[in-house]
A and B are shown apart, each in its own frame.
Chain A
């Protein structure tokens, strides 16, 4: 079961009167957003940078401000004092997703009307709803225009959605290892994961909070997903066909079938680690929101969606990423170019697959930091990139 959150967070609660309307038309509240901020907001309030985490991430983007440094930040590689996203210059905001389980209202939260966790009674929500909730937080912080909004993977989809829904809310955008919709293959993999959770005998129709959690199902879901985050080459290089000699790691099944490959041991380890921090219901809702997302709404052309964009945008992919491949981002780049938008595209050489964006990568660091630096041309609109 999810542990208590080991770092200090801030909370913003709204829609106590259920005034918040989801894309489904359902009214929902109260909604609490758990978030963290790093660095100082300046007087002009124009140095705010919204960092959006990926599917199973949380608000803890950097550990630099922890008193004990106990929990690593998921983007310590990029965010911190003097780093590419310099917290001495920018006011960095990172909020846990609506529907998540790391501080924000989600299926594991207590429904104040029943005193019980929502479970599957939590309303169906979309990526658009997740963006709307973030927008409410930014409004609450008194920020009218974000300096930059940045996200990887599902976080990148939210950046795209922000640009579509609130094109005046940011000067710059960075979309990393993402797509404007998930491919059939990605949907298929997440469907296997969801099925593993639903098939767990402890799932109990999502009502498991008082008893045993569907840990096996959730762990299997994570194992499947984790394969999609690595490249064929990187998993090969890392584990090959090595055997795990540690018998304790093994179990009955392996006593029967033979020795355990390192890669098996690794995936099990990833699964075990994941169930300690994530809620199975949140995983169902969030993966479904991700699979359902389509910037074009299945109705308009991608270039027509791109027409709405106003920010200076940087799109980054990694050569070995097959979860959201460079080709998928290229479609967005093309659409933005065709509408004569200020788009920059960098395809970074990396063997580590989709996970590349979370790892130390000198090219990623210098591309992001040069993009954030003050521009000599002042961008397309002269008022862009005002000095901060």
Chain B
């Protein structure tokens, strides 16, 4: 799990030039921002609602803002950040469409990372076990999961087309079969990728 996270941070980090201004929506414990601040010299802020998460960020010295991301629109000026990141959070946002619109309004570019519910294991689980998609860590059940939006890579691409959102870059990540490693893949991604990262703008 830790390796997985680090891999995601590395991929996101590659897309963000040094000294950019970054806003991380749903920053959690601030690990991504910590990575970006120490490795890329970015400035920026994290946003989260949970006080526990905020305390973790504060301990790391990361500037963090307590806000409820369900209260849209966000109270920030147009294009006030170079990058607005929404990593592993879109599936928890009720007003997901408005959220993506807001990301592209306040950010010059947006970076979205989300679990691909088109991933074959998820499909098998639904098809053969007859169980709703469940994340591996932590193993939420249908009644307590924060994940209320299930989307696949294909779904997201359709959405971007309909909304005239430009996809600057797309990265698909899967776990390699034999080693506990994660790698980028290029083919049959909607089926094979566990995670997708999109760099978008409008």
If A334-B75, A376-B34 touch, whether A344 touches B58 (CB-CB below 8 Å) is yes
Contact of B65 among A338, A345, A375 (CB under 8 A): A345
Contact between B55 and A375 (Cβ–Cβ < 8 Å)? no
Contact of A377 among B55, B61, B67 (CB under 8 A): B61
Contact between A367 and B54 (Cβ–Cβ < 8 Å)? yes
Among A314, A370, A379: residue with most chain B CB under 10 A: A370
Chain A 357-372: CB-based contact to B (< 8 A → 1; otherwise 0): 0000001001100110
Q: Which residue of A lies closest to B64 (CB)?
A: A344
Contact of A340 among B21, B37, B51 (CB under 8 A): B21
Query: Could you say which residues of chain B place their CB within 8 Å of the CB of A345?
Result: 64-67
Contact of B59 among A370, A380, A385 (CB under 8 A): A370
Query: Could you say which residues of chain B place their CB within 8 Å of the CB of A367?
Result: 51, 54-55, 58
Contact between B60 and A380 (Cβ–Cβ < 8 Å)? no
Contact of B66 among A337, A347, A379 (CB under 8 A): A347
Complex interface residues of chain B between 47 and 69 (CB less than 8 A to chain A)? 51, 54-55, 57-67
Query: Could you say which residues of chain A place their CB within 8 Å of the CB of B59?
Result: 370, 373, 375-376
A185–B104 CA distance with the chains assembled, in angstroms = 37
A326–B58 CA distance with the chains assembled, in angstroms = 19
Contact between B61 and A337 (Cβ–Cβ < 8 Å)? no
Contact between B37 and A377 (Cβ–Cβ < 8 Å)? yes
Determine whether A28 belongs to the interface, using a CB cutoff of 8 Å to chain B: no
Interface band, chain B:
20 to 34
Number of interface residues of A (CB under 8 A): 29
Query: Could you say which residues of chain A place their CB within 8 Å of the CB of B77?
Result: 338
Chain A 213-231: CB-based contact to B (< 8 A → 1; otherwise 0): 0000000000000000000
Query: Could you say which residues of chain B place their CB within 8 Å of the CB of A343?
Result: 45, 63, 65
Query: Could you say which residues of chain A place their CB within 8 Å of the CB of B57?
Result: 344
Determine whether A240 belongs to the interface, using a CB cutoff of 8 Å to chain B: no
Determine whether B80 belongs to the interface, using a CB cutoff of 8 Å to chain A: yes
Query: Could you say which residues of chain B place their CB within 8 Å of the CB of A312?
Result: 61, 63
Contact of A371 among B21, B58, B75, B80 (CB under 8 A): B58
Determine whether A9 belongs to the interface, using a CB cutoff of 8 Å to chain B: no
Determine whether B150 belongs to the interface, using a CB cutoff of 8 Å to chain A: no
Among B34, B54, B63, B77: residue with most chain A CB under 10 A: B63
Min Cβ gap B57→A in Å is 8
Determine whether A333 belongs to the interface, using a CB cutoff of 8 Å to chain B: yes
A345–B21 CA distance with the chains assembled, in angstroms = 18
Contact between B54 and A334 (Cβ–Cβ < 8 Å)? no
Contact between A344 and B63 (Cβ–Cβ < 8 Å)? yes
Query: Could you say which residues of chain A place their CB within 8 Å of the CB of B34?
Result: 376-377
Q: Which residue of A lies closest to B62 (CB)?
A: A377
Nearest 7 A/B pairs, CB to CB = A375-B61, A377-B61, A370-B58, A345-B65, A370-B59, A347-B66, A376-B60
Residues of chain B touching chain A, judged by Cβ–Cβ distance below 8 Å, are 21, 34, 37-38, 43, 45, 51, 54-55, 57-67, 75-77, 80
A/B interface sample: 23 pairs, CB < 8 A: A312-B63, A314-B58, A337-B45, A337-B76, A338-B77, A338-B80, A342-B43, A343-B63, A344-B57, A344-B64, A346-B54, A346-B66, A348-B51, A367-B51, A370-B55, A371-B58, A376-B34, A377-B34, A377-B37, A377-B38, A377-B60, A377-B61, A380-B43
